[in-house]
Amino acid sequence: MKLKSDVNDNDLLRLMLAGDEEALALLYRRRQGSVYRFALQMSGSRSIAEDVTQEVFLFLMREGHVFDDSKGTVGAFLLGVARVHVRRRLRAEHRLEPLGDDAEDDDVFMQSATDVCPLEDLTRAETIESVRKAVLSLPPKYREVVVLCELQDVSYGETAEILGCAIGTVRSRLHRGRALLLAKLRPAADVEETGATTVRCFA
Amino acid sequence: MNCQRFETVVSELARGQMMAAELRTEALAHSDICDDCAARLGDEQMLTLGLQSLASELESLEAPRELEAKLLEAFRARTVVVPIAKRSNSRYWLAAIAAMLLIAISVVAFRWSNRQGDEPREAIKQEQPKPDVSNKSTEQLAQDVEKPPVEDSLPQQWKPKRVHPVTLRRPNNAAVANHVTKEIATDFIPLSYMSPASLQEGGQIIRVQVPRSALANFGLPVNMDRYNEKVKADVLYGVDGMARAIRFVQ
């Protein structure tokens, strides 16, 4: 049987669990990009991103029956699994502080990823590289939200499903993550001059 | 709108997120009159642009093609494994049935051997007097209760599941003394000038009832509402028949 591309993810998953190889292939082609990019943006490593993508779909083959469509979409489920695997890999490689640790927030807030101001006059490629580095240097819990909401264009609701938290938490983490990014991308001299990241005028 | 309020909406504004039209107008109007907030909005917009550029740069990235082939291969291998798994399941079933038969035979044999051994045991039981529980001290009784049951000696797989583990506490000395009647007693109060040595020879305790007012004679508090009631007391008599001490019991 030739599967049509308009078959939804839930049906593809069900067919795959019943042993349909074509369903797996179609589901993989449809979802591998977002899983791979998420892992890459979270880790900054192609090899980790490849491994994570493979582990996510192997997990889907073995444990796909645990997916509950009343709790979210297949896409969100896959990104949630990817998130767990990325965290595990990075923790194993000592490249990531444990999630939920807030101690580092204030330290990185004042660090600058670059001495120049990419927001103003650098070339596009340099800007992209600076932003990429700044995103990678964010504390994990903010990085996740920035990657999902800003780079993957996932909605607040779906991000909340993936992270297992409230939408309000997603909003506040995104706000904080963006503030951290700005602080990193702003030249150190500018920070010293103003002495603060934001100035209240109460006008 | 003030700067504090502006700060809460500036990210949404810069990202072009859906927001109330009125709020958006107010925020933009505020940025027109406040230079700092205008700069802040400019930064946020630049950041949004930077992130969008990064996102579009990464948009075309995909996992290597060979990964799909590997996964499909793994999927096929998993499918092939199924009949093998079924065959091994039938082996497990056979083993389980054999084990159950073995257990059943063991149980029958064990009961049969017990039945044969029970006849002489019953004869011995009839000859042996039952242990007199009443003569046992409280501690001995407690120890008897605390002895591990036979189940504890059984291998783990034979032990019955305990529903509610009950811990037996060893009673303290006062509780041991009064465990039968649940009585509360005062210490013995001497009735005459005597040395404790005089009780070494032995004595006798006799339970009596005395008026509650007698408590006052020994400096104990008396409930005036129950003044006319009697109170129990143990009187300790020496071998000479003289009352030596008294204690009050409730």
Domains of chain A: which residue ranges? 9-92, 105-194
Report the CATH number of the A9-92 domain: 1.10.1740.10
Look up residue A161 and give its two tokens: 């499903």
Report the CATH number of the A105-194 domain: 1.10.10.10
Look up tokens 């029958």; give the residue.
B108
Distance from the Cα of B174 to chain A's closest Cα (Å) equals 55
State the pLDDT at residue A36: 93
- Contact between B186 and B244 under an 8 Å Cβ cutoff? The reply is no
Look up tokens 């007693």; give the residue.
B185
Average pLDDT rounded to a whole number, residues A87-102: 65
- Contact between B205 and B185 under an 8 Å Cβ cutoff? The reply is no
B51-71: pLDDT as tens digits: 888 888 888 888 888 888 888
- When mean pLDDT is compared across A3-17, B21-35, B132-146, the lowest value belongs to B132-146
Look up tokens 């109170």; give the residue.
B231
What SS3 class is residue B209? strand
Average pLDDT taken over every residue of chain A:
78
Subunit contact B50:A41, Cβ cutoff 8 A = no
Q: Does B16 touch chain A (CB under 8 A)?
A: no
Subunit contact A135:B54, Cβ cutoff 8 A = yes
Question: Closest-CA residue in chain A for B80?
Answer: A19
Identify the CA nearest to A5 among candidates A36, A27, A21, A20.
Answer: A27
State the pLDDT at residue A113: 46
ipTM over 0.85 threshold: no
- When mean pLDDT is compared across A70-79, B45-54, B78-87, the lowest value belongs to B78-87
In this complex, the residue of A32, A33, A124 whose CB is nearest that of residue B53 is A124
B126-184: pLDDT as tens digits: 555 544 544 545 455 445 444 444 444 444 444 445 545 444 454 454 444 444 556 78
Residues 6 or more apart in contact with residue B41 via CB below 8 angstroms: B10, B13, B14, B31
Look up residue B191 and give its two tokens: 């009735």
In this complex, the residue of B4, B43, B76 whose CB is nearest that of residue A200 is B4
* Cα(B13)–Cα(B19) distance, integer angstroms: 8
Lateral strand order in the sheet of B243-249: B189-190, B243-249, B230-238, B203-211
